[in-house]
Structure 1
Amino acid sequence: MQQIIYAIILAFALTLVFGVPIIPALRRLKVGQHVRGEGPKTHYKKEGTPTMGGIIFLIPLALSSLILARHSLDYIVVAVVVTLAFGLIGFLDDYIKIVKKRSLGLKAYQKIIAQIGVAVIFALYAYNNPNVGSKIYIPFSQNEWDLGVWYVPFIVFVIIGTVNSTNLTDGLDGLAAGVTLVVSSAFSIIAYFAGSKAMDEGLAYLGANYQNLAVFAGALLGACMGFLKYNAYPAQVFMGDTGSIGIGGAIVALAVLLKIPLFLPILGGVYMIEAISVIIQVVSFKKTGKRVFKMAPLHHHFELKGIHETKVVTMFIMAAIVLCLVGLLAV
């Protein structure tokens, strides 16, 4: 437990420190966010706010995790690599979009190919790891479900869905960081108790790796706390795809290595609801020409109904807390 607390504090402190030179540097580089004309009018004043801020907390997340990990480093190294790999995809998208002035960043097929590439490599690693394998836990049950050869395509689908869901959640000041702060807390608790249980059963290697994942989740919690100093309303910097896709990589790495990807719709329910709202909106408009929501993702719908964005963010964080409590019961 001490290592988790240290990880939270270290990641929090490093993120605060990293923000001091990086935010002015981003301003000098003129990597400002372009606000969509069809979005809420209250967002127009955010035009030009520095983006690509994900680097402010992803580097501290990686450093804190690796510094404070103990004994077997296998799982935590994999979690860090997966996080940074997806963060790099987001960084390239932001860089092309903002610095190279190509409005769409990476082309859709380039982004999805890169994401699938990382997802397949990670899924194959998990499938071939005897301590992960093809079995996953079923929520509210002590049972496991052996997916066999379907494990890899299923996990790839989960990974792609999760990283793009977290990406969609990043639309209001402090929203993605605030929700992830809650979700990472739940994952840290789950990983800690899973590690303790494995240790009690004499599974020292597995126990050490699970406890290191608890440290990783704690570092994610601390990094998000630190980033909120700069990203809470009114935001001094946005995380961009660098941060939001990187967060997705971190969350899905925890879920896969802990063998609980089926818990993501609960623990990461806010991310999923955001993604589902976009799917519903697109399908409805294509089929009927009508929109179900005033705007998607869902957080913009509430904004356009007249709810201030700080209240929307609070509502979503409260929803994340409730869902994570349900998720802990499901374990």
Structure 2
Amino acid sequence: MAVEVENLNGKEINNQIMVFPLIANMVIAFISYAVTVRIIPKLKEKFIKANLFGIDMSKTTSDKVPESLGVVSGFIFLVTMVLFIPFAFGNNLLDKESFPYDEYVKYILALLSICCMLLLGFADDVLDVPWRQKLLLPTIASLPLLMVYYVSFNTTTVIVPKPFREWLGLSVDIGIIYYIYMGMLAVFCTNAINILAGVNGLEVGQSVVIAISIAAFNFVELSGPHWKANLFSLYFMLPYTGTSIALLKHNWYPASVFVGDTFCYFSGMTFAVVGILGHFSKTTLLFFIPQIFNFLYSIPQLFKLIPCPRHRLPKFNSRTDKMECSTTTFRYTDLNILGKVIINLFKTFKLIRWDEKGNTIVTNNFTLINLMLLYFGPMHEAKLTTVLLVIQVLGTILAFLIRYPFASVFYDVPGYN
């Protein structure tokens, strides 16, 4: 009975610690939405005057659309997170002996990584950094994140799936490989969103769905043993969702602003931060199922095994006001052995449209966007974005099925993330 009372009291204390900061965080998230949605229209002309603008190739007009407005939502997010510090640590501000310095350092360095990625993303928008060099940007920005993980946790042990435990045991310490994995996670999250882009509202829309998915997971896990890590994640996800929804309102079809690579990098690093420091990096990847598919599908063109045009965006048909598959043209004999294997594999599984014109072959570009247009036919841009976001939601449902009902098939250790 004493143990039950102690556990009950512990839960009551946890609830007291969680409730006030969480409510404050929700209120700040709503305020950040209101500020972002109002300030973006006021800054559009300033971006155009600074030559940060583009022309929407999917429209019949040639109006200038301000570019890189993701920096605005990112900046407001960072300001919001700084203003939230007294609420997050208010219970311990007056007692230096009980102040959670380790949690505070983790919080600050998480913001530092996100801030670095925001600045590097904006630099990319301004300087147009080559694609291969873009891989270095999240690697640099993730260094503070990896340092705080090393100082605070330095846990590099992974649970072995049931079928392999007879040979490897219950767990394996993979050492530095785990840090390489976390660095690669940051690189993947930032670039995966950037690759699945090109139609109004898609970059921000998919990011909002991922953020809500992570927040839903965190709320479920608040009743578990890792409630502190999930509360830490919620502190970031709720304001992020508020600022991103505000940006989506202006980026939805017909977009009055473009978000730029700045938003993609800022979003990816935010997801990597909460996944790594919240100890659910594998679960975070589950919410990227459409992005993982799109990346794997894009590999032949990204690594030049199949000719890759500068832009793989779907084509806009001004006559029908619909988006159509964009294509790439090549000679089959010009491909290397690996390229021939991949192109035939994609052809077998109906992942490409194969048109032979004399000695040349015409296929759709290898992106999830073009694949949807291949399967469902030409679509209006707003409908195309909606279809892709529905796929993102279905990916979230699949992620929760894998994380909870199916995980027990391979793992039976409490707290697997």
| Fold shared per TM-score above 0.5 | yes
Q: Tell me what 1:295 maps to.
A: 365
| Structure 2 unaligned blocks of 5 or more | 1-21, 90-102, 163-169, 308-334, 347-351, 353-362, 405-417
Q: Tell me what 2:197 maps to.
A: 170
TM-score (structure 2 length as normaliser): 0.66
Q: Tell me what 2:120 maps to.
A: 89
Per-residue deviation, 1:301: 4.2
Q: Tell me what 1:214 maps to.
A: 234
CA-atom RMSD in angstroms? 3.0
2:212 to 185, 196, 200: 185
Q: Tell me what 1:53 maps to.
A: 69
CA distance in 2, matches of 1:255, 1:136: 15
Relative distance call for 1:197 and 1:261 in structure 2 (3 A) is same
Matched, 1:24 2:36: no
> Match of 2:364, as an amino acid?
K
Relative distance call for 1:145 and 1:14 in structure 2 (3 A) is farther
Matched, 1:311 2:380: no
* Higher RCO (C-alpha under 8 Å, 6+ residues apart): 1
Preserved CA contact (<8 Å) 2:289 2:395: yes
Preserved CA contact (<8 Å) 1:32 1:47: no
CA distance in 1, matches of 2:255, 2:229: 36
> Match of 1:3, as an amino acid?
A
> Match of 2:283, as an amino acid?
F
CA distance in 1, matches of 2:160, 2:105: 25
| Structure 1 unaligned blocks of 5 or more | 36-40, 97-104, 199-205
Aligned to 1:49, the other structure's residue is in SS state strand
TM-score (structure 1 length as normaliser): 0.81
Preserved CA contact (<8 Å) 1:7 1:216: no
Give the strand-richer structure, 1 or 2.
2
Aligned to 1:151, the other structure's residue is in SS state helix
CA distance in 2, matches of 1:137, 1:183: 25
Cα deviations by residue, 1:182-235 (Å, 9 ceiling, x for unpaired): 11112123334444434xxxxxxx755542320210111111110012100010
Alignment coverage as a number of residue pairs: 308
Identity %: 16
Preserved CA contact (<8 Å) 2:113 2:144: no
Aligned to 1:237, the other structure's residue is in SS state coil
CA distance in 2, matches of 1:138, 1:319: 30
Aligned to 1:319, the other structure's residue is in SS state helix
Give the helix-richer structure, 1 or 2.
1
State which drifts further: 278-287 or 310-319.
278-287
> Match of 2:234, as an amino acid?
A
Relative distance call for 1:81 and 1:270 in structure 2 (3 A) is farther
Preserved CA contact (<8 Å) 1:15 1:227: yes
> Match of 1:9, as an amino acid?
F
Q: Tell me what 2:11 maps to.
A: none
Relative distance call for 1:84 and 1:108 in structure 2 (3 A) is same
